[in-house]
Structures are given as C-alpha cells and as structure tokens.
C-alpha cells in the first residue's frame, strides 16, 4: 500500500495552483517572465517523482538507522549521501533564488508545492537542503562579495551544507539572553574569535558534505545585553586555511559537536549541541552590520516558519492518503443502516468518514493557505508596484504564524486520526502512521512554539502599523467572498465567512484597545485562543475559495470522476465552516471576557 | 526531577475520595464492614510506595529493553519477574475480590485509586496483573468448582497469569465475525479441540510465570454465525497432563506465539499473535453456557474499559506533575506585564499556565469521574437495596464509555501539552513526556475504539430501558447541583451545569426519536460529537462537586497551603465550565442538525 501512496495528490496541487490561486498570473511579472505552466509542471513532476521513487523509498529505513556519533563526528543514514546528490540535481537548494546566483528563479509558490511532495516523502532528507538554502540566502542578502564567493556559492551548489545556530541551552526561545561571545581579532577586520555553546542545531554535522557553515548568533564583547546586542556570524566548521577567504584549502575551525540529541523523529537529520572555540581558535565572519543579527535571522526564520507549515502539511497529507487507502481496502463490521451478511470497507462507517473528511479539510485547507502565503511572498518581492508589494508583505506577515501553527497543531490532529483509522495496527511500527505522528510532533515546537507564534500574531502582526495589515487582509477576503458569490457558491458558506471576518476584526480591535490602555495580560492572555479563532477563519476563507473554484468546475460539464472531485471540495468546505469555524463564537467569548482562571490562579494552586 | 514525581498526588486522592465522594460511606455496607479509613490508606500507601520506588524506577528501562521473541517464546524485560512478585505481594491481582477467593474484599473505588498510582508508575507491569485479575474473575463468575480450583486459584495467587483472547486478524472489533473453532472431543464433556488465530493478545506470553491462561472466544462447530454463536473457553498454554483437571503436572497445550507486534509503547507488556492447535492438540474448557461467550466477556470488557480510563488518567497525571515541576524550575523569557532584567520561571507565562491548568482540569476531572464510576460499581454489586443496586448499575453503564474515552482522548491532549511545556527537550527521549505520550496513544484504541464507545453510549446506554439510565443520572446530577448551591459554590458554575444537563437531555431525546423512527444515521452519524458533549457535561459535573467540596474546605479556616489547594480546585472547575462545557452549544447543533458533509459525500470524493 505504501508504495502507491501519492504523498500529495497531483490533482489537488493542480486545482489549488491553477483553479483556486491562478498561479500563472505570476508569469506576467518580469521576474518570472521565463516561466509558464510547462516549466512549473516540469519542476513539480520531477519533485513528485524524486519524492515517490527515492525519498519515500528510504523513509522508514532512515528512521530506523538514525544518526549516530562516532569519535566526535556525526554519521547520518548512509542513504543520505545519494539522496543529497539527487536533491541538489533537482536544483532544490536554490530553486527560488535568482539566475544571478545560479538559481532557478522559480516563484516561491511553485517551490512550496514542490517542497510538499518532497517533505511528504522524507522530511529529514529535505531538511538538509532547506537549511542550506536558508543559510546561503542570508549570505546572499547581507554578505559582501568575498563572503558570497567563499561560502554562498558552495552552499547553493550543494558542495557544502548550512545551518542556523540560534538556540542556547540556557536561553531557549528567549534569544535576547544568548551568551555566545565574539571577540575581535586584532588586524582582521570583520573577523571574530567565537566561543560558546548552541543546542538543537539541526544538520549541525553530517558525513556527506565537505563542510558545514553555521550562521551563528553571538554577542560582540562590549555590545549591550538583550536583542540589540546580537550580531550574525558566518562560522564554518572548516575555514579557508589561515582564515584567508581566498584560500583553496580548508583547516579545522574549532567547532565541535558536543551532543547528539535523541529525537523521537526526523532521525535522519541530527539535532546537535555545538561547542565553539574550545581551543580558542574558532573564527567567525560578521555578516552585515553589527547589532542586526536578530533582524537578519528573522528573514530566515520567517521563511523557515512557512517551511515548517509546509512540512506539517506534507506530513499530514502522506498519512491522510495512507489511511484513505486503508479505509477503502480493509473490511470490518456492518453498516449502521443496512445490516448485511458481509463486512463492509471501513470507509462506509460514518465515524471513519468523519475522520477522513476532517483530515482532508485540514490537509487541503492547509495546502491552500500555504499557496496563498507563497503568492503573497512572490508578490511582496516581485510585485509590479510598491503598493502591491507592500500589501502582499502585510498579508504574508499575518499568514506566517498562522500557516506555521495551523498546519502543525491541526496537522498533528490529522496524523492522529490517520493512526486511529488503522486501529490496533496503527499502534505498531510495522505501519507508517506512527512514524508520521512522531515526525509531526516537532512542528509545534521548532522555529517558535505555538505560544510564541500566538504572541507574534496578536502582539505584533495584527496590530502593526495601526492595524493596517488586518485592513489589507480583510479587503482580500472581502474580494474573495464577492468572487465566491458570483461563482454561485452556496450562500451559507459565503455568509459565514463574512460574519466571522467581522467578528475577528471586532475581537482584534477590542484586544488591541486593551494593549494600548496598558493591560498586556488582558490583551494577550488568550493569545492561543485568538490564534485558533484566526486560523479557523483563514482556513475557512481558503475553503470558500476552493468551493468557489469547485462550483465553477461543476458548471463546466466535468467527467463523473471530476464531478466527484469537485463535490469533495465543496463537502470539505461545508464541513470546515459548519464544524470548526462554528467554534469562533466560543473562542471570541473567551478572548473578550479575558477569562482569568489560569491567569490569576496562584502558582501553588496547580 | 523524575525521582520526585509523585505520579498521583496524595492530597488529590484524599480530597476526591473523602471530601468529594465520601468513600467512607461504603464501609457502612455489610460487604465492606471490615474496612475503614485506616485499611484504605494502608493499601493506598503501599500502592503509592511500590509505584514510586519500584515500578517507576524501572519504567524507562523496560521501555528501552522491550519484549523480544526467542525460539517461539517471549522474553519480557528482566525487571518484570521481581515487579510481578511485588505486585502479587501487594495483593493487587485480587484486591477487590471477596475473602472467599482469598481476595482483599476492598471496594472497587479504593482499588481504582491504587491502580492510578501503579499505572502512573509503570503501565506495562500493572497490565499483567489486571489482565490476570480480569480473566480469573471470569472463571470465578462463570466456572464450576473444578475450573476454579484448576485455574482461578493459581491466577489470583499470581502463580499463573491470564489474558483475554478476543480479536482476530480478519475481524478486528467486529467480534461477531470471529472464526476460531471449537470442536467437541468425544467422551470429554465440556472439553473442546480449539483451532484458529488471535491477534493483539496483551501478555499472551511471558517468561516469569509458569503458565498462561487464555480466556478465548471461539465458535463451536455447528453454532450459528454472528455473536449468538460465540462461546468462551479456558485455554491454557500448558494444560494439566492428559487434560485431567486434577493432575498436578503440566503438558504443552499446542498454543503458539505466532507474532510479536512491534508496539510503540507498553513495550514491557508484549502484544502477540496466538495460534491455537497447529498440531490439532489444543484443548479448551467451555466456561459457563455455550453461546454466551460475548455476554460473559463483556463483564470483563466493561471492567477493562474503566481500567483503560484509569490508565489514561494515570499516564496524564504523571506527565502533568513532571511538566509542572519543570515549569516551576526552568527559567526562560520575561513576563508580559513586567519586563525585568531576569528571566522568569516558565510557570509565570500565561500560555504555560493555560497548558498547566488544562492538564489539571483533565487529569483531576478524570480522576473524579473514575471514582464516581468506582462508587457506582461498588453500589451496583453491594448496595443495600435492589433499587440502589439497579440505579448504580444504570449510572455505571453510562459512565463506562465516557470514563474510558474522555480519559483516553483528552488524556492524550494533556500528555501532548506536557511535552509542549518541555519545548525542544520534550522532543527528545532523554525526557519522559514523549514516552508517556506514546503509552497514552493506545488508550483510544484498545478495549473498543472511540468510535465504538460512542456508538455504545448513544446507541445503547443512554436509550436503554426507555432512557431510564439517563433519568437516574440526571437525578444524581440534580442532587449534586443542589448540594453545590447549599455549599455556597459560585452560582455561575451550578447554573451552567443545570443548563447543560437540560441541553444534553434534549439532544438525547431528539436523537433517540430519530432512531425510533428508523433513521439510524440521523441518530448515530454524530455519535462522537454526542460523546464529547456528554463528556464535557459529566466532567463539568465532577468539577462542580469538587468546587463544592473546595468551597466547604475554604470555609473551614484552612492553612495558607490548603487554601491554595482549594483555590486551585475552584479555578480548574471554572476553567472547565467556561472553556469546555461552553463548547456544548456547538456540539448540540452538530448533532441536532445532523450535519451531513461527511455522511453523504461519495467515497470517491475524499
């Protein structure tokens, strides 16, 4: 069964890209002028093939083998070396980067869908590529020619890999507390002696690439405490000999692997403790201006958050299709409404159907949100006018924490339902759902926990610039409601989104008002409820868009199979809006009442 | 930190047993006349000590070692032999059984709380004891003297262990489809030749007990298809030599272990495939009357379902206390309302407090529900009048699927929150939350999935006897609402339970009406939503009872520490009622509208 798992269905990807989100309009932008449906589909087809034939084929095995540490170096699963070559051959590391850095100059929108296939096939393997891509992108954006030549080029080509080294054992998510030191080296401008420890560094070592480049946050001696004093450094494991960026040979740069974390998933992508400068000889190159490290890193963090959302969606998608195939094949029990002699397939039981449609609503709703974010990202960078770019940027800002968290939290729920459909077999490692569940579990934690995302959304994104982002978002949703109505969508669905949009705006205003009047707890005490309310709405919006496209599709005399496909989209939209969006009334009450049971209880009362 | 985990807090157990549920009133019943607070506390204290000092000390290790199969026999973790002796010494296997079978004649209520401690320490180890207890109890209830003497006595003493062998590879939860055969043996009345296969048999083999007795469902040759044709057999791995129950020696009974399932948790308690009669020489003794196998087995199944609820509660409890200790110790980040220089403990962040109070509400609410079920079970068996016994039985019937499923489903959510509080460390197997999460995952599956429990509740329990059970339950809740009011509980809480009880009754009547009018899908299509609605209500009822007891406690001039304890109960009650019970409006709408998106969508539309 696993062999025939599509991981992500091509028809769903096509529908969302071309019937819902009109991805081809991106080709009208000068930056993407070389692209068309054919180049998009070629890339997506290659990604799907690599995912299904190579990545997924090695998936279970890479989890079982895992990563190990031998004599201070990490060994990743042996299959990884060949997979890395294939991922690089596909052009994955710099697919979205411009021609000027040898990239494919593909829209983010298309790259994101390609990632979905690949991540659904093997998240750990793809993780190496995306970390390398993101860290090289930082050097591209903020490095001078010498740094780009010495590091970025070799990373984009896949010769070297990259990491982001933020977290420290004592500080966790509170990056302002980090203590890694950077001491200037006399006579070497822009080069610093680095010392300190990092933890949870994904891909922090491997045995398939010649070198690993750690984009490392550290504080220069004398710089202020807190986030203002943080700078970003390029710290390779092996440095050009003598620290001369022009050197063709490498020497050890005093970066050690101190610890291999025993993760419960993503076991092919090691998560490590790193120790810098144990011998006092670790050199780091300052990237961009001092004191802007966190700002720069957030370029990568925001990309990374969307990618976590993509990973979560992909992981839920693979499990959904596995459980759907199982529910169609496995016979058990009798129908509630027609007790016959023969057991029926699981898919005929209403509660199994509930678990399937719920997974579908989460997975495909999340895919749609990701593509919405992809389009916003492309328009934010390459839109025709400054106004278009600004509007897209504001929408992307709001979508980022939601895309990440919705996919991670509800994706976990979806993965859990997939396992449940397998019954007792689901509890065994002979079937894949438990592995996907383990992998999914990381996504509400890394790149900022759900709690942190909720503070980002409510404390920053929806109130930024006097709530301008929310106005722009509401306009976009309003246009889609009108569009859905003119497509002839069921009025129940359009009206629900309209009413809930109004409610979300009202809640946001009330909470922002508390913040302004000096009551941060009254504003932020229910930030996760607020995030859920917003997620329900935005996924409802995406389902309204899908229902509209499906309604148009049904009007075009489709084949019987296509008609069922479109009907499924409308059923999932209806399900989501009646079931989950219907929860927003309660969530709004909790936010508005500032329900205080956990806020004001004494610590000793837990 | 793990070493100081209380697993279950003594103060919580005392509060629920003596201040909320008045467990001492059971001592007024003749059957429990020998007991008093002292004997209760002695037993609970021994259980807590064994749990903390022995079971928990071996917990992580038993997961890592797991069970293996060597030459057709199973090896369980070596620590298990000594733990088994200690569990038997505690009298765990027959604590609740009468003196007549060498039992402790303890109330179920007290035994259940003891199980909570023990299961929180090591679910797999305790599993052997409870399976042995349940299967011996079947022989006690339905066997003749010869079977009791030959099997039951050795099981209650811990010399032999027992299992329940229901599930088959092809039938899963649809027991009516089972195919294991029982062929009469000429001249051996009540003895049959057994052949067939079972799967997921927990504790189906071990290397610490001399013999394993499988209580096995099979169909006699010639008996009808479906559930009516199922009988129950005692099928030991080793039989008395020659099949003579009086024999003192044993010989192999042709029961083989065909497969070791690679479970993702409970790894000390092997789950096996069994194969009966490969050599045509497996003998089974018919237990009770033919054709009543399923009915008998349901005695054990109902006990087992409550025990799954206890296990789920215990697993969530251990993780709650671990995450609470971590949140108090680990400093990270600044307060939202007071940005100081120093990082504060996690417990000061509102969203961490939410995750803690939510766990508390689930864990302690679930404990209370379990004790309610324990009291109902004791009164159903030993109540003073037939009327009292009948009322208790009806309440127990409704509580069973809810106690099991609420604890399993919401317990999983609680375990997930505990892991989340640990952040990146939670994703590593160096900390315990991931292990508890894996263990918990089984509880929505075994002894009937959540879907099956929901059909049991709505299709059977709440409508049985013309809805008599619901009337009795509503009376009990009504008395507790009045009691809470007279204890001076916050009227908001009492009024909410009153209103939601009325709503639950209304929904039940409407759905039952559809069933009566021949629309089973309209009745049962939202059975899981109905189960959730009922669970929210019943746990709200329990929290109202706790809030009433806490309000009384606060009125008795408690110490500062006790006052914080009581305030925590009231905060959790308020949280549950405002947050989860508040969801019942939406759930009722889904049930009443018979929302049909997943019910009527075509199979090809998923």
All residues of chain A having their beta carbon less than 8 Å from the beta carbon of residue B600 are 571
Cα distance between residue B221 and residue B224, in whole Å: 9
Residues in chain A: 606
Kindly indicate the confidence band of residue B3, based on its pLDDT and cuts at 50, 70 and 90.
low
Domain range enclosing B528: 450-599
Residues pairing with A69 in the sheet: A74
| Residue that the structure tokens 């120093």 belong to | B342
Q: How many angstroms separate the Cα of A138 from the Cα of each of A148, A165, A197?
A: 10, 13, 21
Distance of CA B521 to the CA centre of its chain: 29
Answer yes or no: do A145 and A176 share one domain: no
All residues of chain B having their beta carbon less than 8 Å from the beta carbon of residue A439 are none
Answer yes or no: do B485 and B508 share one domain: yes
Q: Tell me the mean pLDDT per 10 residues along chain A, length 606.
A: 81 98 98 98 98 98 96 97 97 94 96 98 97 96 97 97 93 84 96 97 97 98 95 98 96 98 97 98 98 92 94 98 97 86 92 98 98 98 97 97 98 98 96 98 97 97 92 98 98 98 98 96 97 98 98 97 98 98 98 95 96
CATH of the domain at A175: 2.40.110.20
Q: How far is A585 from chain B (nearest CA, A)?
A: 9
Tokens coding A427: 């509890």
Model pLDDT for residues B382-396, shown as the tens digit of each residue:
999 999 999 999 999
Contact A177 B454 (CB under 8 A): no
Predicted local distance difference test score (pLDDT) of residue A565 = 98
Contact B598 A350 (CB under 8 A): yes
Q: How far is A249 from chain B (nearest CA, A)?
A: 37
All residues of chain A having their beta carbon less than 8 Å from the beta carbon of residue B574 are 597
Contact B602 A567 (CB under 8 A): yes
All residues of chain B having their beta carbon less than 8 Å from the beta carbon of residue A167 are 424
In a domain, B77, yes or no: yes
Answer yes or no: do B508 and B575 share one domain: yes
In a domain, A130, yes or no: yes
- Nearest chain A residue to B446 by CA: give it: A424
Where in B19-142 does DSSP place strands (E)? Answer: 68-70, 73-75
- Using alpha carbons only, give the angle A417, A419, A420 rounded to the nearest 5 degrees: 60
Answer yes or no: do B136 and B37 share one domain: yes
The beta-carbon neighbor of B350 closest among A336, A524, A590 is A524
Predicted local distance difference test score (pLDDT) of residue B149 = 97
- Which of A106, A126, A156 terminates a domain? The answer is A156
Which residues are CB-contacts of B576 (< 8 A; sequence separation ≥ 6)?
B361, B365, B539, B540, B543
Predicted local distance difference test score (pLDDT) of residue B299 = 80
Q: How far is A547 from chain B (nearest CA, A)?
A: 13
In a domain, B285, yes or no: yes
Q: How many angstroms separate the Cα of B429 from the Cα of each of A122, A129, A492, B169, B174?
A: 21, 26, 48, 32, 36
Contact B47, B7 (CB under 8 A): no
Contact A350 B446 (CB under 8 A): no
Residue B130: exposure state from Cβ atoms within 10 A (0-12, 13-18, ≥19): buried
In a domain, B332, yes or no: no
- Which of A291, A322, A349 terminates a domain? The answer is A291
The beta-carbon neighbor of B336 closest among A524, A597, A603 is A524
Model pLDDT for residues A15-29, shown as the tens digit of each residue:
999 999 999 999 999
Answer yes or no: do B213 and B152 share one domain: no
Exposed e or buried b for every residue in B480-505, given b needs 16+ CB within 10 A? bbebbbebebbeebbebbbebbebbb
Model pLDDT for residues B428-442, shown as the tens digit of each residue:
999 999 999 999 999
Per the confidence metrics, is the pTM higher than 0.95?
yes
- Nearest chain A residue to B324 by CA: give it: A606
Kindly indicate the confidence band of residue B56, based on its pLDDT and cuts at 50, 70 and 90.
very high
In a domain, B386, yes or no: no
pLDDT top residue among B326 and A302: B326
Catalytic center residues of A:
447
Answer yes or no: do B108 and B174 share one domain: no
Contact A167 B424 (CB under 8 A): yes
The beta-carbon neighbor of A603 closest among B271, B347, B585 is B347
Q: How far is A84 from chain B (nearest CA, A)?
A: 25
Which residues are CB-contacts of A576 (< 8 A; sequence separation ≥ 6)?
A361, A365, A539, A540, A543
Which residues are CB-contacts of B338 (< 8 A; sequence separation ≥ 6)?
none
If you average pLDDT over residues B234-242, what whole number do you get?
97
For CA atoms B196, B202, B207, B208, give the dihedral sign.
negative
Answer yes or no: do A168 and A238 share one domain: yes
- Nearest chain A residue to B327 by CA: give it: A603
Contact A598 B200 (CB under 8 A): no
Answer yes or no: do A38 and A110 share one domain: yes
Residues in chain B: 606
Q: How far is B97 from chain A (nearest CA, A)?
A: 31
Residue A189: exposure state from Cβ atoms within 10 A (0-12, 13-18, ≥19): exposed
Tokens coding B579: 């947050």
In a domain, B389, yes or no: no
Contact A263 B353 (CB under 8 A): no
Q: How far is A583 from chain B (nearest CA, A)?
A: 7
Model pLDDT for residues A383-435, shown as the tens digit of each residue:
999 999 999 999 999 999 999 999 999 999 999 999 999 999 999 999 999 99
Q: What percent of chain B has pLDDT over 70?
A: 100
CATH of the domain at B84: 1.10.540.10
- Nearest chain B residue to A262 by CA: give it: B428
Contact B353 A564 (CB under 8 A): no
In a domain, A313, yes or no: no
pLDDT at residue B173 tops 80? no
Contact A571 B601 (CB under 8 A): yes
Cα distance between residue B235 and residue B253, in whole Å: 8
If you average pLDDT over residues B97-107, what whole number do you get?
95
All residues of chain A having their beta carbon less than 8 Å from the beta carbon of residue B358 are 598
pLDDT at residue B273 tops 60? yes
Cα distance between residue B93 and residue B130, in whole Å: 6
Contact A253, A234 (CB under 8 A): no
Answer yes or no: do A459 and A566 share one domain: yes
Residues pairing with B163 in the sheet: B214
In a domain, A401, yes or no: no
Exposed e or buried b for every residue in A76-108, given b needs 16+ CB within 10 A? bbebbeebbeebbebbbbbbbbeeebebbbbbb
Predicted local distance difference test score (pLDDT) of residue A283 = 98
The beta-carbon neighbor of B606 closest among A336, A357, A599 is A357
All residues of chain B having their beta carbon less than 8 Å from the beta carbon of residue A582 are 586, 589-590
Beta carbon pairs, A and B, within 8 Å? 247
- Nearest chain B residue to A440 by CA: give it: B427
Contact B606 A324 (CB under 8 A): yes
Q: How far is B117 from chain A (nearest CA, A)?
A: 19
**What's the domain count of chain A?**
3
Contact A324 B449 (CB under 8 A): no
The beta-carbon neighbor of A264 closest among B172, B429, B583 is B429
Contact B582 A586 (CB under 8 A): yes
The beta-carbon neighbor of A445 closest among B263, B427, B593 is B427
Cα distance between residue A68 and residue A76, in whole Å: 7
Answer yes or no: do B484 and B506 share one domain: yes
H or E segment at B353? helix B350-382
All residues of chain A having their beta carbon less than 8 Å from the beta carbon of residue B357 are 597-598, 601, 606
- Nearest chain A residue to B320 by CA: give it: A606
Answer yes or no: do B210 and B73 share one domain: no
The beta-carbon neighbor of A568 closest among B352, B561, B605 is B605
pLDDT at residue B577 tops 90? yes
Where in B49-144 does DSSP place strands (E)? Answer: 68-70, 73-75
Cα distance between residue B507 and residue B584, in whole Å: 11
- Nearest chain A residue to B447 by CA: give it: A424
Kindly indicate the confidence band of residue B1, based on its pLDDT and cuts at 50, 70 and 90.
very low
Contact A350 B426 (CB under 8 A): no
Residue B231: exposure state from Cβ atoms within 10 A (0-12, 13-18, ≥19): buried
Catalytic center residues of B:
447
Q: How far is B154 from chain A (nearest CA, A)?
A: 30
- Nearest chain B residue to A528 by CA: give it: B351
Contact B423 A429 (CB under 8 A): no
- Nearest chain B residue to A348 by CA: give it: B603
Predicted local distance difference test score (pLDDT) of residue A176 = 86
All residues of chain A having their beta carbon less than 8 Å from the beta carbon of residue B171 are 332, 343
All residues of chain A having their beta carbon less than 8 Å from the beta carbon of residue B426 are 445
DSSP secondary structure letters along B122-138: -HHHHHHHHHHHHHHHH
Among A264, A453, A526, which would you mutate to test the B interface (most chain B Cβ atoms within 10 Å of its Cβ)? A264
- Which of B128, B156, B184 terminates a domain? The answer is B156
Answer yes or no: do B126 and B270 share one domain: no
All residues of chain A having their beta carbon less than 8 Å from the beta carbon of residue B593 are 578
Contact A601 B419 (CB under 8 A): no
């Amino acid at each position: 069964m696993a062999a025939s798992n599509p991981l992500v269905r091509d028809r769903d990807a096509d529908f969302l890209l071309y019937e819902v989100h009109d991805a081809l309009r991106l080709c009208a932008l000068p930056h993407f002028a070389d692209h068309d449906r054919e180049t998009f589909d070629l890339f997506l087809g290659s990604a799907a093939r690599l995912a299904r034939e190579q990545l997924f084929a090695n998936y279970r095995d890479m989890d079982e083998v895992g990563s190990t540490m031998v004599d201070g170096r990490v060994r990743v699963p042996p299959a990884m070396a060949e997979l890395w070559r294939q991922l690089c051959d596909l052009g994955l590391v710099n697919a979205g980067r411009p021609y000027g850095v040898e990239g494919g100059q593909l829209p983010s929108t298309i790259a994101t869908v390609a990632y979905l296939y690949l991540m659904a096939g093997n998240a750990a393997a793809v993780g190496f590529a995306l970390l390398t891509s993101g860290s090289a992108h930082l050097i591209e954006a903020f490095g001078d020619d010498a740094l780009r030549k010495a590091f970025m080029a070799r990373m984009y080509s896949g010769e070297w890999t990259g990491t982001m080294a933020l977290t420290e054992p004592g500080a966790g998510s509170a990056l302002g507390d980090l203590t890694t030191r950077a001491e200037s080296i006399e006579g070497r401008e822009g080069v610093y002696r680095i010392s300190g420890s990092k933890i949870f560094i994904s891909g922090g070592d491997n045995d398939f690439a010649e070198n690993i480049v750690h984009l490392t946050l550290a504080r220069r001696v004398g710089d202020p405490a807190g986030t203002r004093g943080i700078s970003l450094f390029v710290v390779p494991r092996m440095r050009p000999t003598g620290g001369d960026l022009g050197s063709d040979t490498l020497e050890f740069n005093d970066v050690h692997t101190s610890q291999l974390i025993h993760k419960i998933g993503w076991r092919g992508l090691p998560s490590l403790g790193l120790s810098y400068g144990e011998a006092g000889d670790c050199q780091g190159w300052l990237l961009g201006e001092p004191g802007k490290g966190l700002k720069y890193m957030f370029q990568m963090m925001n990309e990374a958050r969307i990618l976590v959302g993509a990973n979560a969606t992909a992981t839920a998608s693979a499990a959904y299709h596995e459980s759907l195939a199982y529910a169609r094949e496995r016979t058990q029990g009798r129908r509630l409404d027609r007790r016959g002699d023969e057991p029926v397939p699981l898919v005929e039981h209403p509660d199994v159907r509930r678990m399937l449609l719920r997974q579908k609503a989460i997975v495909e709703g999340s895919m749609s949100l990701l593509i919405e974010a992809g389009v916003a990202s492309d328009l934010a960078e390459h839109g025709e006018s400054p106004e278009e770019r600004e509007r897209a940027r504001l929408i992307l800002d709001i979508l980022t924490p939601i895309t990440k968290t919705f996919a991670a939290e509800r994706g976990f729920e979806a993965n859990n339902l997939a396992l449940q459909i397998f019954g007792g077999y689901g509890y065994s490692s002979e079937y894949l759902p438990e592995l996907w569940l383990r992998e999914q579990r990381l996504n509400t934690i890394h790149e900022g926990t759900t709690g942190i995302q909720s503070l980002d959304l409510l404390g920053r994104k929806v109130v930024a610039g006097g709530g301008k982002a929310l106005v722009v978002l509401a306009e976009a949703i309003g246009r889609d409601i009108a569009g859905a109505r003119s497509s002839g969508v069921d009025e129940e669905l359009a009206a629900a989104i309209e009413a809930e949009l109004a409610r979300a705006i009202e809640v946001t205003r009330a909470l922002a008002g508390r913040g302004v009047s000096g009551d941060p707890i009254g504003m932020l005490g229910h930030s996760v409820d607020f995030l859920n309310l917003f997620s329900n709405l935005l996924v409802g919006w995406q389902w309204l868009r899908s229902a509209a496209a499906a309604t148009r599709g049904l009007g075009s005399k489709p084949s019987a199979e296509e008609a069922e496909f479109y009907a499924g989209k409308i059923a999932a939209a209806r399900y989501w809006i009646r079931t989950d969006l219907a929860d927003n009334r309660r969530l709004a009450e909790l936010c508005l009442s500032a329900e205080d049971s956990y806020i004001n209880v004494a610590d000793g009362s837990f």
